[in-house]
Amino acid sequence: MEWIEEYKNKLIHKEIPYSEVYDFVKSHLPRKIYRYRKFDDFWENNLFDGDIYFSQSSNLNDPFDCLTYVDEKIYSKNIKDTLIHMLPALKQNIIQYMENKIVDLEESISGARDLISVACFSENVDSVLMWAHYADSHRGFCIEYDTSRILKPYNSLLFPVYYTDERYDSTDDVIKRNENTILNPNFFKSKVWSYEKEWRIALTYDLISKNDRKANFSNAITGVYLGVQSEKEYSQNLLRIKSWANSKSIGCYQMKINPKGYNIFPENT
């Protein structure tokens, strides 16, 4: 899709703020996005209360996810050159200091990663792999959200993931502390994850700390889909879900296996 490449170019542009990137993205927002869930301790809050929990980026299942890459040699050289420019009389001392000291970025990058929290969604409700990986091997459920009903400020923070073979290089962003690009590692992932067709909201610590890592999306819920294996173990939960959906006039669907192919499809309950 050509618009995805244009989106990526705007995202990496040093002078384009995220608000302007979103102005471009919003015309390409899918009408519906989906969030795969398990029947865990939080499932009722997720569905009945509409709670969206934002995970620390360091806790995601992809070890590269949201991980900032900085070229240590370039970063160290920048520090050295800056110090020499500020303190030319101490040039030799600074060079000696930099030669004998490895600038360890790992701790600071890890700390910065923990200050970002994300909520992940998919364009697809019928992905066999997504049901297997994120909905307890098809025993869970999937919540549908109408993007036009997502409230502020989250409605302007929803961006697609760009899938690539190369990691995003944040070296210049970190050196210059560029607010227009500093969140970019959160929107780039390896192509091996492209089947997820992911959209995500990334929140900085100042936003997420105000609401205990969660937001209310109850107004945007327009459907719930039940996994093809959910009836076997969670029949009582399904009865509750169907009753709740009916009382809220929310669509409720049972995922079915195509008897002639390797795909699944929703059917009204």
Residues of the chain with pLDDT > 70: what percent? 79
pLDDT digits (tens, 9 = 90+) for 107-146: 666 666 677 889 999 999 999 999 999 999 999 999 999 9
- Residue 102 pLDDT level (bands cut at 50, 70, 90): very low
Beta bridge partners of residue 46, listed in sequence order = none
Residue 96 pLDDT more than 60?
no
pLDDT at 178: 81
Instruction: Report the C-alpha gap between 100 and 89 in whole angstroms.
Output: 19
110 closest CA partner among 159, 79, 69, 169: 69
In the prediction, which pLDDT does 22 show?
95
- pLDDT attached to residue 82: 47
Amino acid letter, 199: W
pLDDT digits (tens, 9 = 90+) for 50-84: 999 998 766 777 776 667 777 667 666 655 444 44
What's the rounded mean pLDDT across residues 169-194? 86
**Per-residue pLDDT band at 91 (split at 50, 70, 90):** very low
What pLDDT, on a 0 to 100 scale, did the predictor assign at position 87? 41
pLDDT in tens, 207-258: 766 567 889 999 999 999 999 999 988 999 999 999 999 999 999 999 999 9
User: What pLDDT, on a 0 to 100 scale, did the predictor assign at position 89?
Assistant: 45
Q: Is the per-residue pLDDT at 192 higher than 80?
A: yes
The pTM of this model reads: 0.85
Strands (E), the chain: 32-37, 51-53, 55-56, 116-122, 141-146, 158-160, 162-164, 188-190, 198-204, 214-216, 221-226, 251-257, 264-268
Tokens of 91: 């040039």
The fraction of the chain above a pLDDT of 90, given in percent, is: 60
Amino acid, single-letter form, for residue 226: L
| Mean pLDDT, rounded, of the chain | 85
- In whole angstroms, give the CA distance from residue 95 to residue 188: 36
d(CA 88, CA 92): 9
| Predicted local confidence at residue 100, as pLDDT | 47
pLDDT for 203 equals 85
pLDDT confidence of residue 97:
53
Whether residue 90 has pLDDT greater than 70: no
CA distance 22 to 19: 5
